[in-house]
């Protein structure tokens, strides 16, 4: 009958149990994380407000109602299982949620359900979690009507009693050790009401099968097999503890495997981490090239939920350190770029200033060179034995100031060149024949008259013994 039958399992919830159910709904507990198979949100029935949580829905449902204050249980949780042969479509999923709510309300007074949920991220998607606390109008012995009274057992007992009525009580015989019918002192059978949790469960299963067939039109549905005994399916304490430990171990191993897969994907670059709002949260971004498949992305999202809080915090600390180092490096890089830009500006200014200076020196050199070549300025040894430039133009004129500036900047260089020229010329004249010396002297005097050659008036001013400027000349004197 697998796939053709449905079932309803009901548990009572304490305040801590209700809180645990909310944690499970939010996928904050370890078992729910490991059961997640896909990233699909659940369908929620929340009659008191879509934005309310499970606890807030219970508070809204409980407001104004009275209950037995001594009772430790505050609500009921029914897991309503539909036949797995029902096709999974968006329409069928919504209908399963609606029908589960309708069934629990119909069988528990009409005002019972305060929240229901159909999970769509797990392997099984044919079950609906229904949370309810049945309300009814309670009439006191004096006839007073209390509008809202909550009872977790009233409707279940009435349901079982209506279906099974009474039967003769049985008890274990002291001699035989077997369960035997109980009779009173007159030999009459002692009757008992069939409203225990066992009978409540049987009645609920019968009604649910009828609902599937009659209300939903699933005529092919078969009722699940009844249990042979009334005892709950349980193990001895030692066996139960061992089984629970094995489950915990298996969950831990699965979590470790998923955590390792997550870290391996992070190391290989399948995704990167971004700063998270909380240190225990993970905020990732998948790489774009090569892009990951949707299935791989979904798998990594599930694996991220299995990462323990300590590892999450460590990853975020490493990310924070890395970002801080990158910011510091970026700051140093920007500072270095600014310094380079400033150095470039300084070097450009230096180059520009140097070019200006060189241009000025070149202009001064050309000016003084022309002044010397045209006898506008000359140099000689002064009375104290120093080489000095002389300028005979009228003082105070712009031209006088200009040539004086050239004396200051490049006068030494031009003077040195003139001195070297004189020495070279004296060496040349020294080796000329008398006739050549006479010809040289005459040509030089002619050049002086034309203004095409420098004029020397004393030793140190030019070739030894060459004078002129007005056609005058003297004999050549050779240095020995």
pLDDT in tens, 63-83: 989 888 888 899 999 999 999
pLDDT value of position 408: 84
Cα 279 from chain centroid (whole Å):
12
Angstrom distance (rounded) from CA 21 to CA 15: 10
Distance between CA 369 and CA 371 in Å, rounded?
A: 5
Alpha-carbon gap, residue 428 to 18, rounded angstroms = 122
The share of the chain scoring above pLDDT 90, in percent, equals 29
What is the rounded average pLDDT of the residues 254-258?
Answer: 87
Q: Nearest-CA neighbor of 33 among 261, 248, 255, 253? A: 255
Statement: residue 473 has pLDDT above 80: no
pLDDT band at 133, cuts 50/70/90? Answer: very high
Say if residue 155's pLDDT is above 60: yes
What's the rounded Cα separation, in Å, for the pair 259 and 361? 77
Half-sphere exposure of 131 (CA within 13 A, CB side): 31
Tell me the average pLDDT across 264-269: 90
Q: How sure is the predictor about 381, in pLDDT bands with cuts at 50, 70 and 90?
A: low
Query: pTM, whole model, 2 decimals?
Result: 0.52
**Residue-level pLDDT at 277:** 83
pLDDT for 478: 29
The two beta strands, 283-286 and 271-274, are: antiparallel
pLDDT band of 8, cuts 50, 70, 90: very high
DSSP string, 315-338: HHHHHHHHHHHHHHHHHHHHHHHH
- How far apart, in whole angstroms, are the C-alpha atoms of residue 114 and residue 105? 10
Higher pLDDT, 7 or 380: 7
Question: Which of the listed ranges 100-109, 258-267, 349-358 does the model predict with the highest average pLDDT?
Answer: 100-109
**Burial grade of 52 (CB within 10 A; 0-12, 13-18, 19 or more):** middle
Q: What is the mean pLDDT of the segment spanning 145-152? A: 83
Residue 471 pLDDT? 32
* pLDDT given for residue 45 in this prediction: 97
In the chain, what's the furthest Cα-to-Cα distance?
183
Q: Flag the least confident range among 93-102, 313-322, 334-343, 411-420.
A: 411-420
C-alpha span between 108 and 445 (Å, rounded): 142
Q: Which residue has the higher pLDDT, 352 or 380?
A: 352
Per-residue confidence (pLDDT) for residue 87, from 0 to 100:
92
Stated as kind and residue range, the H or E segment containing 222 is none
In the predicted structure, residue 198 carries a pLDDT above the cut 70? yes
Domains in the chain, please, with CATH? 7-226 (3.30.930), 251-307 (no CATH)
Q: Which residue has the higher pLDDT, 166 or 444?
A: 166
Q: Are 314 and 285 in contact (CB under 8 A)?
A: no
Q: What is the mean pLDDT of residues 291-302?
A: 89
Look at residue 323 and tell me whether its pLDDT is greater than 80. yes
The answer on pLDDT for 384 being more than 70 is no
Q: With 80 as the cut, is the pLDDT of residue 454 above it? A: no
Weakest mean pLDDT among 11-20, 141-150, 157-166, 229-238: 229-238
CA angle 43, 47, 52 (to 5 degrees): 75
Q: Which residue has the higher pLDDT, 306 or 56?
A: 56
Give the pLDDT mean for 265-294: 88
What is the average pLDDT across 425-447? 80
385: confidence class by pLDDT, cuts 50, 70, 90? low
Q: If you average pLDDT over every residue of the chain, what do you get? A: 82
Q: Which residue has the higher pLDDT, 445 or 151?
A: 151
- The residue assigned the tokens 């600014």 is 338
């Amino acid at each position: 009958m697998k796939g053709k039958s449905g079932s309803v399992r009901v548990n009572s919830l304490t305040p801590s149990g209700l809180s645990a159910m909310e944690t499970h709904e939010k996928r904050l507990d370890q078992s729910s994380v490991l059961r997640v198979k896909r990233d699909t949100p659940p369908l929620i029935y929340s009659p008191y407000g879509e934005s309310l949580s499970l606890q807030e829905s219970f508070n809204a449902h409980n407001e104004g109602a009275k209950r037995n204050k001594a009772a430790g249980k505050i609500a009921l949780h029914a897991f309503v299982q539909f036949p797995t042969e029902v096709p999974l479509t968006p329409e069928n999923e919504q209908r399963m949620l609606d029908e589960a709510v309708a069934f629990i309300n119909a069988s528990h007074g009409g005002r019972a359900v305060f929240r229901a949920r159909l999970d769509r991220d797990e392997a099984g998607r044919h079950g609906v979690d229904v949370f309810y606390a049945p309300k009814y109008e309670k009439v006191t012995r004096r006839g007073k009507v209390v509008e809202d009274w909550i009872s977790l057992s009233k409707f279940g007992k009435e349901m079982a009693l209506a279906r099974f009525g009474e039967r003769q009580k049985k008890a274990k015989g002291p001699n035989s050790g077997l369960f035997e019918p109980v009779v009173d002192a007159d030999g009459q059978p002692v009757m008992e009401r069939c409203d225990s949790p066992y009978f409540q469960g049987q009645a609920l299963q019968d009604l649910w099968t009828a609902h599937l067939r009659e209300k939903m039109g699933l005529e092919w549905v078969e009722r699940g097999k009844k249990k042979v005994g009334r005892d709950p399916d349980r193990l001895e304490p030692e066996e139960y503890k061992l089984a629970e430990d094995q489950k915990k171990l298996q969950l831990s191993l699965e979590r470790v495997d998923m955590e390792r897969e997550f870290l391996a994907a992070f190391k290989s670059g399948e995704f990167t981490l971004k700063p998270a709002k909380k240190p225990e949260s993970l905020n990732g971004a998948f790489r774009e090239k090569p892009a990951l498949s949707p299935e791989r992305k979904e798998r990594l999202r599930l694996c991220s939920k299995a990462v323990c809080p300590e590892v999450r915090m460590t990853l975020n600390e490493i990310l924070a350190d890395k970002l801080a180092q990158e910011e510091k490096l970026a700051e140093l890089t920007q500072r270095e770029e600014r310094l380079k830009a400033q150095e470039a500006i300084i070097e450009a200014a230096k180059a520009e200033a140097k070019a200006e200076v060189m241009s000025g020196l070149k202009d001064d050199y050309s000016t003084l060179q022309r002044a010397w070549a045209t006898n506008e300025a000359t140099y000689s040894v002064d009375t104290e034995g120093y080489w000095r430039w002389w300028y005979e133009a009228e003082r105070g004129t712009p031209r006088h100031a200009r040539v004086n500036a050239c004396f200051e900047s490049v006068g030494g260089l031009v003077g040195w060149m003139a001195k070297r020229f004189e020495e070279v010329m004296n060496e040349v004249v020294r080796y000329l024949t008398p006739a050549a010396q006479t010809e040289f002297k005459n040509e030089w005097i002619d050049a002086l008259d034309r203004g095409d050659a420098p004029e020397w008036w004393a030793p140190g001013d030019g070739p030894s013994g060459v004078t002129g400027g007005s056609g005058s000349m003297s004999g050549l004197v050779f240095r020995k």
